[in-house]
Structure 1
């Protein structure tokens, strides 16, 4: 887990009864990297004679890498070990990131608004540290109090651990944190942690259910909405 010097002191106010923190996923939520992952995965499998389709894409979106690799090996029978395929996908993904990565619509404005109002914010991703650090060159590490990587926790998404860890480090109650996610895997993790959830689907369809806000774009997310999801206790 990495903490940036500029925002390391950002913590939830003790006793605050409203919104205490915003926890954000990375791939497909803040940055448009889901296509990069898909290109890496599908092009590698194509080299072994396996053509992946949109049903496969829906199964691999949101990681973590261990789950993605296990699925790809089981479904295609490609003659590679999990470690070999994981390394190959990561290397191909890194190559695709060489020229930077586009931000999702609304991401720049939202992060700027959160920073301007001093809202404690953390990046919580199933991606590995190396990949997160590459993306942060575009996204900006100083926008977050810290970042949590999938290879830095014992159990990553869909387990609640990453979000529980992030809330604890910010001194926040999980129920007073809003998580913004794009994939079913991440949403399961956030809801299991007891956080409020805004889903902005990128690839896989997300159902709107009680306690979950589903929107079409980050352009619909602002501080007023985030605060409305965690009203002060009476």
Structure 2
């Protein structure tokens, strides 16, 4: 039975819903090399889940002689080209879980640090009504790991963050969701989520259904109730 306490499920996009992280990395390396710098795989992993303007400043420190917004637009255009030419690679089980939640009547939000034009491209390629709200990087008052993006999504949905589950793959995103007060589910992809404060870690979304998310949220509510009673 569905839990009436679960008001919404909040999804990260890159690395959680869709596997675009390799597209980002593929765009970053030649950008740095164009200006005579080097870009390691470890540096690329450190960018996962970071706000685009913060990422752009790191590229400037690596020698990229472009403005912050120029860098953001360039990388976004490169990734969108990859999406158009190579398709939208959904993470295992993500599309199916999202569909299961929608079929169960659960409200959903997409909370991403990608620009809204890229988020809208991904949403438009989903063949069902997937999200009630989209909060993108250019909508957020402050980027992840600040709680603002998730708080803005909850405000737009008219729900209490404590009544939501957020799904994240990156440390910055996980910290954002935890700080916002959501029940935060970590699904690691390219980097570890150890020490981020997530309430549960699933190695994959493959085979998961809406009922699993209801159970996760119910367990978190029960723990919180028990802690408050002590």
- The normalised TM-score by structure 1 is 0.85
2:173, 2:161 → 1: CA distance?
Answer: 15
| 1:7-26 map, 5 Å | 18-26=5-13
Cross-structure match for 1:122? 109
Distance 1:97 1:211, change over 3 A: closer
| 1:44-193 map, 5 Å | 44-74=31-61, 76-99=62-85, 100-140=87-127, 142-193=129-180
Aligned CA RMSD, in angstroms, stands at 2.0
Distance 1:185 1:96, change over 3 A: same
2:14, 2:178 → 1: CA distance?
Answer: 18
Gap runs ≥5 in structure 1: 1-15
Bigger relative contact order, structure 1 or 2, given CA contacts below 8 A and separation 6+? 1
What are the Cα deviations for residues 86-118 of structure 1, in whole angstroms up to 9, with x where unaligned? 222222222212222111110121011111110
Number of aligned positions between the proteins: 218
Shifted more, 61-70 versus 132-141: the winner is 132-141
Q: Equivalent of 1:226, from 204, 208, 213?
A: 213
Distance 1:141 1:123, change over 3 A: farther
> Quick check: 1:29–1:180 contact (8 Å CA) kept in 2?
yes
Displacement of 1:137: 2.7
Gap runs ≥5 in structure 2: 226-230
Tell me whether 1:43 sits opposite 2:69 in the alignment. no
1:86, 1:209 → 2: CA distance?
Answer: 26
SS in 1 for 2:105: coil
SS in 2 for 1:29: coil
Displacement of 1:173: 1.5
2:132, 2:169 → 1: CA distance?
Answer: 21
Distance 1:220 1:181, change over 3 A: farther
Displacement of 1:63: 2.6
Shifted more, 112-121 versus 41-50: the winner is 41-50
SS in 1 for 2:206: helix
Q: Equivalent of 1:207, from 194, 204, 208?
A: 194
- The normalised TM-score by structure 2 is 0.87
Displacement of 1:139: 2.8
